[in-house]
Structure 1
Amino acid sequence: MSKPTTLTDKLAKARVPSHPHVADRAKRGLMAFVTSTGASAEVVQQLADGSAAQGIGRIGLSALTPGGLACQRGCAFCCILSGEDGGTITEAEAVALYDALAPLAGAADGRDWHPDACPSLDPDTRTCRAYDARPMICRAYVSTDVEACKRVAEGEPADGPGTLEPYHTYLAAIGLSRAALKGTKRVATYALSRLAAAAVEGETRDAALNKARHAPSELDAELRRSKRDLSRAT
């Protein structure tokens, strides 16, 4: 009789379209998480809602001390979002962001400062009203040049802004979690800007999540973009 396939077995076999060293780091983080806590229903849920990936990303960020950053309170050019997506976030991040913004429904938001700004912004101070609940994409996006941020916000390419590597590890961890749980548990991702807009416009949490939920192909597309960005950087 064959041995039952365990969650660690599934993670070991999981593949993701990411840069090899990033995928390896993400897999090692997930394996350590599962083996240290056991494959309980709670652990499976943390893989599914992205809490595990988020934790791996935050640990990576906490170990970094990047220098020469131009980021300052109220700068906010990085919060002018392109398209209707605004960035990929997990279910755990989407719920936390919704809960932080829902009490502000009906108030002026970032779009009163700039039509493409994140709804999480205060339009007067240009500071994030959901700062403690901000997702990995916000925590990992930094810049060494404010003028470059302005140009990027206007749709022009410029050197200076970019995402720190723990964001890419976090993305790979989401993809690996999805591969390991395929057929047993859904691992969804969400559009940051759509979720934030739904929250400040007074939508219910369920309606906001439904409106912001990505098609399954979007995570793979974001992983491929991540791999291209890292390949260009190296």
Structure 2
Amino acid sequence: MTSRADRRRAQKGARGGAKRPATIADLAARVERARAPGLGRSAEARGRRMLAAYLQTAAAHGLPLSRVVADLAEGAVTLRLGEVARDSLMQAPPPAVANAACADGCAFCCILTEGDGGLITETEARRLHAALTPLAGQPEGRAWHAAACPALDPETRSCRVYEARPTICRSFLSVDAAACETNANGGEAEGAGLLGSHVDYLAVQALARDLLKGIARVPTYAMARVAAGAVEGESLDDTLDGARHGSNVLERTCRDAAKAGGA
């Protein structure tokens, strides 16, 4: 006679082994069970719809499962769907976008007071490192301010790799430049925040991690550490090793984003 504990272990083993996806359709069947800890139900549901639509499109185009898994694991899908969410938001921009005070050289948001610089995917980390590596050894942002992003030009305070900047940089805006300066100096002024589409970006990344549990690792990285490694001439592999987040950072970032809301 089989005990209840034995049956639970057998069921758990079946879920972890025999039911590994063999097709994109198998992977898509897992989407409804995927979770994004730290985010609310509505954000989680939007992320599931976005992932389901992506997998449906991937299957329709005949992409191999290995390619889909790799794109999910490296964050290429997160980046792509985050762009879709932002483009959709911009079709009817919220007031914060219309009233944004952001301008070239106004770089107080690039003073990374918490040191991390924000969460980025592996795809974004590779892109940022590749863009900054040719600039290794040149004057960089920390020559202007010790906590500034290394991607900055210290004289103009402009981003030297603007086209390769990660989603966190593209999502941040402020309606009050003075508030950004206050916050950069340790204050707590209101007026700056993230676009709501950034929550969708985080939802997709968190869901992808849960979706690929037992199949592939879905890492995230510290943007500031990636930029620093590149401008200091560090190899990509060493930079990724040094910038890789612990497993709890994504959930904590999701929780903070959900609490803050979005423009």
TM-score, with length taken from structure 2: 0.84
> What secondary structure is seen at the aligned counterpart in 2 of 1:44?
helix
- The answer on 1:202 being equivalent to 2:230 is no
The number of equivalent residue pairs is 231
Match of 1:19 in 2: 40
Q: Does 1:47 align with 2:72?
A: yes
Cα distance in 1 for residues equivalent to 2:55 and 2:160? 34
Q: Secondary structure at the match of 1:142?
A: strand
Out of 134, 144, 157, the position equivalent to 2:188 is: 157
The amino acid of 1:227's aligned partner reads A
Preserved contact between residue 100 and residue 130 of structure 1 (Cα < 8 Å)? yes
Match of 1:31 in 2: 52
Query: What displacement does 1:116 show?
Result: 0.4
RMSD (Å), alpha carbons:
1.6
Give the structure 1 partner of residue 28 of structure 2. 8
% identity of equivalent residues: 42
User: How many angstroms does 1:23 deviate by?
Assistant: 1.4
Residue 133, structure 1, aligned to residue 158, structure 2 = no
Distance in structure 1 (CA, Å) of the matches to 2:139 and 2:176: 29
- Written as runs of structure 1 = structure 2, the 5 A alignment for 1:51-130 is 51-63=76-88, 64=90, 65=93, 66-130=97-161
The CA distance in 1 between the partners of 2:216 and 2:186, in whole Å, is 38
| Aligned twin of 1:180 | 211
Bigger Rg, structure 1 or 2: 2
2:182, 2:104 → 1: CA distance? 19
Give SS of 1:74's match.
Answer: coil
The answer to whether the 8 Å contact 1:106/1:202 transfers is yes
Q: Deviations over 1:115-171 (max 9, x none)?
A: 000000011111111111111100000000011111111121111100001111101
Query: Contact 1:171 / 1:223 at 8 angstroms: preserved in 2?
Result: yes
Q: Which 4+ runs in 1 deviate beyond 3 A?
A: 2-5
Deviations 1:95-120 (A, max 9, x none): 00000000111111000011000000
Q: Which amino acid aligns with 1:121?
A: L
Q: Structure 2: give runs of 5+ residues left out of the alignment.
A: 1-14
Normalised to the residue count of structure 1, the TM-score between the two structures is 0.95
